[in-house]
């Protein structure tokens, strides 16, 4: 087992990894920018190293500074968390070259699955269902020809992207010609890669993702069920749950077999998530794979009883995983609300001083976060403050517990999106499970704001 792990991340995921390390008897090293000097994860780590000023490019994306921190602290492994460098194959390769274990998939796996176009090609070879789409497009003319073959509407996407950047829904050739250069510019600005491709657009899809945890050395390719992530704002997830009310036991078993076989054929190692669209007819179509731990991984932990972060570490260390190598059936229901520091009406980021923080408690409540009374939320990073989770025997019980937990939660001094979550949980469409990625467009609370945006 590792003696010391450096966490190349910040905030709640850094704290989550630190807690797993402590339970496994492993020393932890936190790296932080000057903006995060007083952050809770920095206090909880066994050691802490400042790696630069607030801007991410000079700190959490600064590979030389992170590697220097690893050398100074004597770490023998690095956990990248999610975001930042977590899916950067070059970073994983540098870790290997420096004799450090990168806790995640191999650089080759990241390259195979990380780019959306290569991942689509690989999925096609492996028999994973896909929407009609293209490879990388040369220019607007090729895009129009391909779109007319697929049939409008189509969606234009950045091959190296995520989070909605470089993504455009297109309903005509004229519109495609107009938005193509905009999408390419966004892709270059966001990912330093202007490659674009097309897919057929599904008007009312659900966003379904399957969690995997693989250890090829012990011939283990576990598919740990699905998560429903359909409630999104501008392609950013807001609420997640497991299991999905739209996925039947038969569909879950069928997809689990397909995905498990694909992971075995490619020799994938570590945790990962395959994301799909579910159309109105109940067909799943592969979109992309995230070769890292996800923000929403705790909902899977709650319904499976498996500590994904601890098992990630065990797999990377070459130890036999503690979970059973057999099909997993979700037990009960779990729900996650992402509590962000933002205005609940305009969604503008709202950093500032937290004057009073009281987390909720009671049966079936879990709070993953790194905030406290007296902490100043920096304006330099993602606005996520806390992941609030509830678990129950049924979806109805889980929703009721989340409503209670949201009512109990106190975060004074800044604005948060707690009122948005309360409105979502009260909506009849949510309670009855009628979800799609356009859910928030129809929620009276947000419809006007989203229309203006």
Annotated active-site residue 431? The verdict is no
Query: Coil, strand, or helix at residue 335?
Result: strand
**β-bridge mates for residue 376, sequence order:** 353
Burial of 50 (0-12, 13-18, 19+ CB in 10 A): middle
**β-bridge mates for residue 117, sequence order:** none
Both tokens assigned to 448:
């006007």
Query: Coil, strand, or helix at residue 369?
Result: strand
CA distance 394 to 185: 46
Residue 15's φ and ψ, nearest 5 degrees, are: -65, -40
Both tokens assigned to 239:
């609420």
Catalytic residue among 16, 206, 233, 292: 292
Under DSSP, the state recorded for 10 is -
CA distance 151 to 311: 44
First to last CA, the chain: 49
- Residue 62 burial (CB count, 10 A): 21
One-character DSSP codes across 128-169 = --B-SB-S---SHHHHHHHHHHH-SSEEEEETT--TTTT-EE
CA nearest neighbour of 405 among 349, 355, 359: 359
Both tokens assigned to 348:
């503008």
Find tokens 């892709």 and name the residue.
Answer: 187
One-character DSSP codes across 203-230 = SS-EEEEEEEEEEGGGTEEEEEEEEEEE
For 161: left if phi > 0, alpha if psi spans -120 to 50, otherwise beta; the answer is beta
Instruction: Catalogue the active-site residues.
Output: 292
């Amino acid at each position: 087992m590792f003696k010391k792990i450096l966490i190349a991340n910040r905030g709640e995921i850094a704290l989550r990894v630190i807690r797993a390390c402590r339970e496994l008897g492993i020393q932890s090293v936190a790296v932080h920018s000057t903006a995060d000097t007083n952050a809770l994860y920095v206090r909880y780590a066994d050691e802490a190293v400042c790696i630069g000023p607030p801007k991410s490019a000079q700190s959490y994306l600064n590979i030389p500074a992170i590697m220097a921190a690893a050398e100074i602290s004597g770490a023998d492994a690095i956990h990248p968390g999610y975001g930042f460098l977590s899916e950067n194959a070059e970073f994983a390769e540098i870790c290997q070259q420096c004799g450090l274990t990168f806790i995640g998939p191999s650089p080759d796996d990241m390259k195979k699955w990380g780019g959306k176009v290569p991942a689509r090609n690989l999925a096609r070879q492996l028999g994973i269902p896909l929407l009609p789409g293209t490879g990388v497009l040369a220019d607007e003319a090729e895009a129009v020809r391909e779109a007319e073959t697929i049939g409008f509407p189509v969606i234009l996407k950045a091959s190296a992207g995520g989070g909605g950047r470089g993504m455009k829904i297109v309903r005509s050739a004229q519109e495609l010609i107009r938005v193509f250069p905009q999408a390419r510019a966004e892709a270059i600005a966001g990912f330093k890669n202007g490659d674009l491709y097309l897919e057929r657009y599904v008007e009312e899809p659900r966003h379904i993702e399957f969690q995997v945890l693989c250890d090829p050395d012990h011939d283990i390719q576990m598919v740990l069920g699905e998560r429903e992530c359909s409630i999104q704002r501008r392609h950013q997830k807001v609420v997640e749950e497991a299991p999905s009310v739209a996925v039947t036991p038969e569909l879950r078993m069928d997809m689990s077999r397909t995905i498990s076989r694909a992971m075995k054929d490619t020799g994938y190692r570590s945790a990962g998530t395959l994301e799909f669209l579910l159309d109105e007819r109940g067909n799943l179509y592969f979109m992309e794979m995230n070769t890292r731990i996800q923000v929403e991984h705790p909902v899977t932990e709650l319904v499976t009883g498996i500590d994904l972060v601890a098992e990630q570490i065990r797999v990377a260390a070459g130890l036999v995983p503690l979970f059973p190598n057999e099909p997993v059936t979700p037990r009960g229901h779990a729900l996650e609300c992402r509590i962000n520091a933002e205005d609940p009406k305009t969604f503008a980021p709202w950093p500032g001083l937290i004057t009073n923080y009281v987390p909720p408690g009671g049966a079936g409540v879990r709070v993953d976060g790194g905030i406290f009374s007296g902490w100043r939320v920096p304006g330099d990073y993602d606005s996520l403050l806390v992941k609030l989770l509830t678990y129950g025997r049924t979806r109805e019980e889980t929703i009721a517990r989340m409503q209670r937990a949201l009512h109990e939660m106190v975060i004074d001094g800044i604005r948060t999106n707690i009122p948005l979550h309360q409105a979502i949980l009260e909506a009849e469409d949510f309670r009855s499970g009628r979800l799609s990625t356009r859910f928030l467009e129809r929620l009276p609370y947000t419809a006007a704001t989203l229309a203006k945006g």
